Amino acid sequence: MNTLGAIIGDICGSKYEWDNETNPDKVELFKLGSRFTDDTVLTVAIMEWLVETGWRGGNSNEILIKCLQKWGHKYPKAGYGGMFRKWLASDGSEPINSFGNGSAMRVSACGFAAKTIEEAMDLAEKSASVTHNHPEGIKGAQATAVAVYMARTGFNMEEIKTGIERRFGYDLHTPLKERPEHKFDATCQVTVPEAIMAFLESESYEDTIINAIAVGGDSDTIAAIAGAIAGAYFGVPSYYVEKACDILPSDMLEVIDKFNNYYYAKQIVNKA
């Protein structure tokens, strides 16, 4: 298990978002110029929120908005969607009714922090609803968080597949190669099932990220969502963790360590 799965997926997918590579054999992880994007920035924001509140703390929404705005303004050129950019420019008091996959790309820490599936559902809804309060936006976040929770707590792939299909109604039977091709789609209802399938059709963390990138379209976010689940299920090779730590700035690494120490009493990343 490793909480960096989403962040590493984001970094590896970043070079392919606008230059898709749909042949898995040609996908190169940590391709020269790979970087973190908004997926990573907002994942870190959710981690900070969960540490600051212990998620049960008071004024949870107020603290969450503060964390999202803080990190969004700190890294303003990370590649946010248009609706989220407008939200950042506001005071954050009103959600944007979005069903974009931004709610799912940032939610993985909720699946790691939760003690039950019900807590994962609740945390995911809270994490999404301050911006992505559309039912599909909340559903995408909840499906991702539940998949992460199940992956880290010993459920096998078939159980994860069945559980997500039953709870959320996503099609997890149609293989990736038989799904309609699309240039770019950033909705939860399209990309979350694709990301989960990238995990279900894999045999390792690396396989998952390659599968996710080869879907095409919004490669970094699909790889972030898939990578979160795969990191919880397979763990992440230490080589990838080291590569990510070389790319991530120290302020992000500090929050990631605080999160891991708070919820798991261990330090997973250390830039020193």
Q: Give residue 272's pLDDT.
A: 32
pTM of the prediction? 0.95
Output the tens digit of pLDDT for each of the chain's 272 residues.
589 999 999 999 999 998 999 999 999 999 999 999 999 999 999 999 999 998 665 568 999 999 999 999 999 999 999 999 999 999 888 999 999 999 999 999 999 999 999 999 999 999 999 999 999 999 999 999 999 999 999 999 999 999 999 999 999 999 999 887 777 889 999 999 999 999 999 999 999 999 999 999 999 999 999 999 999 999 999 999 999 999 999 999 999 999 999 988 654 444 33
* Per-residue pLDDT at 264: 80
List, in sequence order, every residue forming a beta bridge with 100; answer none if it has no partner: 187
So what's the pLDDT on residue 227? 98
Instruction: Establish how many alpha carbons lie within 13 A of residue 26's alpha carbon, considering only the half-sphere containing its beta carbon.
Output: 10
Give me the helix-helix angle, 250-264 and 38-53, nearest 10°: 40
Q: Which fold has domain 5-264?
A: ADP-ribosylglycohydrolase fold (1.10.4080)
Q: Are 136 and 187 in contact (CB under 8 A)?
A: yes
102 contacts 38 by C-beta, under 8 angstroms: yes
Residues 6+ apart with CB under 8 A from 266: 260
Q: What is the residue extent of each domain of the chain? A: 5-264
Q: What is the CA radius of gyration of the chain?
A: 16
Q: What's the pLDDT at 179?
A: 83
Q: What share of the chain is helix, strand, coil (3-state, %, to 5)?
A: 65, 0, 35
